[in-house]
Amino acid sequence: MSRRRTLSSRKKIALLAGAVAVAGGGAFAFAANSNAANVENAATSVVCQGLATALGNNESFIAEQRAAPDAQSAARIANREEVVAEIKRKQEASGCQVGESIRADGSAQNGGGAQAGGAAQDSQATQPASETTAPSDDAGSTGNGADASAQQVCQGSTVTLSGEGGAPAASSNQFPSGTKLRVTNLDNDKVTTVTVTSVSGSCVLLNDAAFEEVREPGKFLIRRALIEKVG
């Protein structure tokens, strides 16, 4: 007479749990690989390149302040770290490699590689000379400067700075070079009108000179901004 061996309820549950864990692990690995394959970087996307450049400029500024601190360095660093966090959020929202940065010397950080740095340098080198010296029409003026011909754009966008030098100018991911944008800081009513000269990962990213015209003392992020297309 044969005796049939049966699995206990506990063994059945253990085997079932193991199978689910293996299947779940495989699905997680597949999803992770799929997401990684969809992430862009500065070498493949001009938007990601703009964000990486802005991040690199701000990280360089923080490093310089830490290397040679003064009485205001702590406040400057705190504000720039807020800008860095905002740029990283935009990198994630844009499908870019979060934390990728390109420094002023063209070097890339966080997996960007030399190719990404080279792409940034090539982009800057091919800009027409006329686009690198865009003047500000109403630098440091007050009031929102609204007029019938102005078109409000990018409602709700914050405005940060790229850390780039030169005459007042802006970069944008929505408007081509030559577009004139008027930016009003609603917290102090200061206005600047600048010309877009390059691509970034934001609706409008001001360079240092333009940001200086509308900033509040000690702040490197404008949370309440009116952005208008005026030309």
- 203 found inside a domain: yes
Q: Which residue has the tokens 């979060």?
A: 98
Do residues 121 and 136 both lie within one domain?
no
| Cα–Cα distance, 196 to 181 (Å, whole number) | 7
Do residues 174 and 107 both lie within one domain?
no
- 5 found inside a domain: no
Do residues 117 and 54 both lie within one domain?
yes
Domain boundary among 67, 92, 125: 125
Do residues 103 and 142 both lie within one domain?
no
- 4 found inside a domain: no
Do residues 154 and 86 both lie within one domain?
no
Do residues 183 and 157 both lie within one domain?
yes
Domain count, the chain: 2
Domain boundary among 125, 142, 173: 125
Do residues 140 and 231 both lie within one domain?
yes
Do residues 143 and 67 both lie within one domain?
no
Residue 147 has what pLDDT? 56
Residue 43 has what pLDDT? 83
Residue 193 has what pLDDT? 96
Do residues 102 and 197 both lie within one domain?
no
Residue 190 has what pLDDT? 96
Tens-digit pLDDT string for the chain (231 aa): 555 555 556 655 555 555 545 455 554 444 444 455 678 887 888 888 888 888 888 888 899 889 999 888 888 888 788 889 988 988 888 899 999 988 766 566 664 433 333 333 333 333 333 232 333 333 333 344 445 578 999 888 889 888 888 999 999 989 999 999 999 999 999 999 999 998 887 889 999 999 999 999 888 889 899 999 998
Residue 203 has what pLDDT? 87
Domain boundary among 78, 102, 125: 125
Residue 196 has what pLDDT? 94
Q: Which residues of 9-30 are buried (b: 16+ CB within 10 A; e: fewer)?
A: eeeeeeeeeeeeeeeeeeeeee
Q: Cβ contacts of residue 58 below 8 Å, gap of 6+?
A: 80, 83, 84, 87, 161, 163
**Which structural domain range is residue 71 located in?**
12-125
- 48 found inside a domain: yes
Do residues 72 and 165 both lie within one domain?
no
**Backbone angles phi and psi of 145, in degrees to 5:** 65, 20
- 2 found inside a domain: no
| Cα–Cα distance, 192 to 203 (Å, whole number) | 15
Do residues 115 and 202 both lie within one domain?
no
Do residues 134 and 225 both lie within one domain?
yes
- 7 found inside a domain: no
- 1 found inside a domain: no
Q: For residue 169, what is the domain's CATH number?
A: 2.40.40.10
Q: Note the pLDDT tens digit of each residue in 8-30.
A: 566 555 555 555 454 555 544 44
- 225 found inside a domain: yes
Task: Check: CB of residue 81 under 8 Å from CB of residue 62.
Answer: yes
